[in-house]
Amino acid sequence: MGIKNGVVLVLSGPSGAGKSSLINKIKEDIGDYYFSISTTTRPMREGEIEGVHYHFVTEEEFKKDIEKDNFLEYAIVHGNYYGTSIKPVKQALSEGKLVLFDIDVQGNTAVNNRLGDITTSVFITPPTLSELEKRLNGRSTDAPEVIAARMSMAKREIQRISEYDYVVVNDDLDEAAEYLKLIAKTARLKKSNEEINRFVQQWEDI
Ligand code: 5GP
């Protein structure tokens, strides 16, 4: 990925965990950051805006990007393609930013394989499965079968939380936001292997 001194913070967790609300709550307090806007083939939900929530593309367009090796990682989630474009991430890292990813467990594995030295990961979840169901129903943006699919996905994803550096239970939004802020600040202290080598060379100044 070239010279980089930014860091990555992966946020995973079921839709309905409150990831977006948490990011909104902490964004003023985490310094210079870049939120990676994924590309997806899933249909746009009501209230979503092209280029803000996602880049919405056709399956054909998505597959072309795969062929051109434009993705840092991509995965099929709930039957739709989702991917993280390399270019803006590379740019943000070279500017020393904290790069936030809202990606699933497959994405977390892929990002850790490629950028593990500068990556911190956090899994965000409601306190229980029934609370998740309540939130998904309350949101009422999805059809019942979509909600059912998200619930079974959440049950599968929760089995893999040990792959994350941190787990934040979003029961009380203010408290969860405080924890996430601390994690984001700590994530900044990660150093790439390149930076560590440079640091050691400079440190040995006698
Ligand atoms: P939603 O359709 O609710 O916006 O997202 C569904 C799931 O896809 C969420 O778990 C979200 O984190 C994940 N997701 C969104 N963008 C990406 C991406 O670029 N890569 C991967 N691997 N997962 C993503």
Whether pLDDT at 52 is above 80: yes
Which of 37, 48, 103 to probe ligand 1 with, by most ligand atoms within 8 A of CB? 103
Which tens digit of pLDDT belongs to each residue from 59-99? 999 999 999 999 999 999 888 999 999 999 999 999 999 99
Helix ranges (H only) for 68-172 are 86-94, 105-115, 129-139, 144-158
Question: Could you tell me if the CB of 119 is within 6 A of ligand 1?
Answer: no
* Residues spanned by the domain of 136: 7-197
Closest atom of ligand 1 to 12 CA is 12
User: What is the per-residue pLDDT for 196?
Assistant: 92
Answer yes or no: is 148 within a domain.
yes
Whether pLDDT at 56 is above 90: yes
Which tens digit of pLDDT belongs to each residue from 128-176? 999 999 999 987 677 888 889 889 999 999 999 999 999 999 999 999 9
User: What is the per-residue pLDDT for 2?
Assistant: 47
Answer yes or no: is 203 within a domain.
no
Answer yes or no: is 66 within a domain.
yes
User: What is the per-residue pLDDT for 22?
Assistant: 96
The number of folded domains in the chain is: 1
Banded model confidence at residue 4, pLDDT cuts 50, 70, 90? low
Answer yes or no: is 80 within a domain.
yes
Which of 104, 108, 119, 156 to probe ligand 1 with, by most ligand atoms within 8 A of CB? 104
- The model carries a pTM of 0.93
Which residues of the chain form beta strands (DSSP E)?
7-12, 33-35, 39-40, 55-56, 71-77, 80-85, 98-102, 119-125, 166-169
In the chain, pLDDT over 90 holds for what percent of residues? 85
Answer yes or no: is 1 within a domain.
no
**CB-count exposure of residue 109 (10 Å: 0-12, 13-18, 19+):** middle
Question: Could you tell me if the CB of 100 is within 6 A of ligand 1?
Answer: no
Answer yes or no: is 124 within a domain.
yes
Whether pLDDT at 185 is above 90: yes
User: What is the per-residue pLDDT for 41?
Assistant: 98
Question: Could you tell me if the CB of 104 is within 6 A of ligand 1?
Answer: yes
Nearby residues of 55 by Cβ (< 8 Å), 6 or more positions away: 37, 38, 39, 40, 85
Answer yes or no: is 206 within a domain.
no
Query: C-alpha 206: how far from its chain's center?
Result: 42
Whether pLDDT at 54 is above 70: yes
Answer yes or no: is 189 within a domain.
yes
Banded model confidence at residue 3, pLDDT cuts 50, 70, 90? very low
Q: Compute the Cα dihedral for 65, 67, 68, 73 and give only its sign.
A: positive
Ligand 1 centroid to residue 66 C-alpha, Å: 17
Question: Could you tell me if the CB of 107 is within 6 A of ligand 1?
Answer: yes
State the average pLDDT for the chain. 94
Ligand 1 centroid to residue 13 C-alpha, Å: 9
Which tens digit of pLDDT belongs to each residue from 93-124? 999 999 999 999 999 999 999 999 999 999 99
CATH number of the domain encompassing residue 122: 3.40.50.300
End-to-end CA, the chain: 32
